[in-house]
Amino acid sequence: MAILTSDQIIGKRESVENKIFRIFPSDTPFISSLSKRTIDSTFPNWLEKELEAPSKIAVSEGADAVEVGVTQPALRNNVTQILSRVIKVSRTADRVAKYGRAEELAEGIIDTGIVLMNALEFSCVG
C-alpha cells in the first residue's frame, strides 16, 4: 500500500515569515536634517549673509573705535520639484488574506513614501 507523504498533500500551508523585509536602505540623512516650511512660489529666494570669522576684537581702554564695513547679503534661490507616484490597488486585492501585511494599499503607501524620500535625497545630494 502506498504511503501519503507531505510533498503529495494538496493545499498544504506554506511556512512564510509574517513580515516583509525591505532590502533597500531607506535612510535619508540630508532630507531628514532639513527644516520644512511652506513657500508660495516655484522659484523661492532668500537672503544669506556671511559673518566674519571669530577673532580677538578686544581693545585697550581709551583706544579708538575700529571701523568695520557693512556686509550686504547675497541672494540665493532654488527650484521646487514635484515627485509623483500613484498607487492603485483593487478593493479585493486589499482585502484578501496575505502574508506579511494586512492591506496592500497601506503597504504600497509606506513603500512609495520610502521611494519618494530616497528620490528626493538623491536629487539633493546625488
Beta bridge partners of 42: none
The C-alpha atoms of residue 110 and residue 12 are separated, in whole angstroms, by 31
| Chain segment 29-39, per-residue pLDDT in tens | 788 788 888 88
Please compute Rg for the chain using Cα positions: 30
Averaged pLDDT score across all residues of the chain: 83
C-alpha cell at 4: 501519503
Q: Say how far apart CA 124 and CA 28 lie, in whole Å.
A: 10
Is 113 inside a domain boundary? Answer: yes
Q: Number of folded domains in the chain? A: 1
Write out pLDDT tens, residues 77-86: 888 888 999 9
Residue 40 within a domain: no
DSSP 64-101: PPPP-PPPPPEEEE-------------HHHHHS--SS-
Residue 99 domain-assigned (yes or no): yes
Give the residue numbers spanning the domain of 96: 87-126
